[in-house]
């Protein structure tokens, strides 16, 4: 199933985090596809990607209008694989073989689901982010709201079915996609492995302040998107 996978990675202005992630994707089969999507030409390190070793042969940079939803949709349009995996540039694959096996199992057993990984943090933030790991597990497993930093994946057919990412949204395009999948009756399925992300923002902006802001925004977004699908507020 991994041979039928396209990996889409949006890269923001001045973002170099993708350089740390690429070596962690060398387990991808040669037949897979890899697209990095930037919104400024100066951020598209084409020669560097071309010369990288151990990655799928079908790889490249795309230039798309600014906005993560637009970049993600452009990445999908530039691929043809049956399955799509959306990975943030600052994500980290700490256990590549376990990740590969979990993704293979999920795609094989639940090809019609919207899949996601459990979220963990690398050790660049306060110890209190352990609570955020638990919170992300509850949010995704109990409330059915995984976010984009959890490496969402689904079939191309289901991506088209929900209309792709909403380009009218400046933020929360991942949250909107999950609600659209729920509206379409697409099941959620955890991959059974973890993907890591940076906790640097919690260190820079304060754990309590950042966590409270995330909770508030999540609640506000859930009210907005659930109303769009006819659920009670």
| Segment 82-128, tens digit of pLDDT | 999 999 999 999 999 999 999 999 999 999 999 999 999 998 878 88
- The pLDDT of residue 231: 46
pLDDT at 210 over 80: no
First to last CA, the chain: 39
* φ/ψ of residue 88, rounded to 5: -75, 150
- Regarding the domain delimited by 2-228, which CATH topology (the fold level of the hierarchy) does it fall under? Spore Coat Polysaccharide Biosynthesis Protein SpsA; Chain A (3.90.550)
Tell me the sheet residues that pair with 188.
114
- The pLDDT of residue 1: 84
pLDDT at 233 over 50: no
Q: Please give the model's pTM, rounded to 2 decimal places.
A: 0.94
- The pLDDT of residue 14: 94
Mean pLDDT score, 151-178: 96
* φ/ψ of residue 13, rounded to 5: -55, 125
- The pLDDT of residue 228: 65
- Relative orientation angle of helices 207-228 and 173-183, to the nearest 10 degrees: 40
- The domain locations on the chain are 2-228
* φ/ψ of residue 32, rounded to 5: -70, 170
pLDDT at 131 over 70: yes
pLDDT at 187 over 90: yes
Mean pLDDT of the chain: 92
Mean pLDDT score, 205-221: 80
- Name the band, by pLDDT with cuts 50, 70 and 90, for residue 169: very high
- Name the band, by pLDDT with cuts 50, 70 and 90, for residue 230: very low
Instruction: Please spell the DSSP secondary structure of 7-40, one letter per residue.
Output: EEEEE-TT--THHHHGGGGTTS-TTSEEEEEESS
pLDDT at 156 over 50: yes
């Amino acid at each position: 199933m991994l041979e039928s996978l396209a990996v889409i990675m949006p890269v923001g202005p001045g973002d170099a985090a993708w350089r740390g992630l690429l070596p962690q994707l060398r387990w991808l089969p040669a037949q897979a596809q890899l697209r990095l999507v930037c919104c400024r030409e100066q951020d598209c390190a084409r020669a560097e990607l071309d010369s990288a070793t151990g990655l799928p042969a079908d790889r490249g940079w795309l230039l798309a209008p600014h906005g993560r939803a637009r970049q993600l949709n452009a990445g999908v349009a530039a691929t043809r694989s049956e399955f799509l995996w959306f990975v943030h540039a600052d994500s980290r694959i700490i256990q590549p073989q376990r990740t590969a096996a979990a993704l293979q199992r999920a795609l094989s057993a639940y090809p019609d689901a919207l899949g996601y990984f459990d979220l963990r943090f690398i050790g660049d933030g306060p110890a209190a982010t352990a609570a955020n790991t638990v919170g992300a597990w509850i949010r995704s497993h109990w409330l059915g709201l995984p976010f984009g930093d959890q490496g969402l994946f689904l079939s191309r057919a289901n991506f088209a079915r929900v209309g792709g990412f909403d380009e009218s949204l400046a933020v929360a395009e991942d949250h909107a996609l999950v609600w659209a999948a729920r509206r379409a009756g697409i099941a959620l399925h955890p991959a059974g492995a973890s993907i890591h992300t940076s906790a640097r923002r919690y260190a820079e902006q304060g754990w309590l302040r950042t966590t409270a802001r995330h909770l508030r925004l999540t609640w506000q977004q859930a009210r907005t998107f659930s109303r769009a699908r006819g659920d009670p507020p």
